[in-house]
Every structure is written in structure tokens, then in C-alpha cells.
Amino acid sequence: MGGYRKKLRKYFTNKMYHRRSKVETVNFVEKTKMGEELTGKKWWMKKKEQRLKDIAYNIYRYIRVSGKW
């Protein structure tokens, strides 16, 4: 286990620490579905591109969970 994870586990309650694992799972699935690379050259363009990927993933999850399509 890495140094940062040890610190997180030490200073956060079990309930708060496990929220981190949920976030990491969502990030992993998003990267798997949408691709890991950001093609923008400047940091602000990469930020915009990541926001669009987040929105697209949220729409994808909404459709899958609600069964609309």
C-alpha cells in the first residue's frame, strides 16, 4: 500500500475512506469506456475535454440504470 493510502486510511474513518474506493472505481470504468488519453495541448483544453467525458459518462450511466434505451 502506498504512502498516501496509508495516510488516508489513518486519518479518515472507515466510511469516509471507502468513498475513495467508489471514486476510483468510477474513474476506472470511465477511462475504460471513454479512453484514457486527453488530446488537448493546453491544460484548460484538457480540463474541458475531461468535463465532457464526465458528462458523457453520467448520461451513459443514467440510460443504463433507468433502462430508457
pLDDT tens-digit profile of 13-65?
Answer: 777 767 778 888 888 998 898 888 888 899 999 999 999 999 999 999 999 88
- What is the rounded average pLDDT of the residues 4-18? 75
- Cα 56 to Cα 53: distance, rounded to the nearest angstrom: 5
pTM: predicted TM-score of the whole model, two decimal places: 0.65
Residue 45: its pLDDT value, please? 93
Give me the helices (H) in the chain, please.
Answer: 3-11, 14-34, 43-66
Domain extent listing, the chain: 1-36, 37-69
Residue 1: what pLDDT? Answer: 59
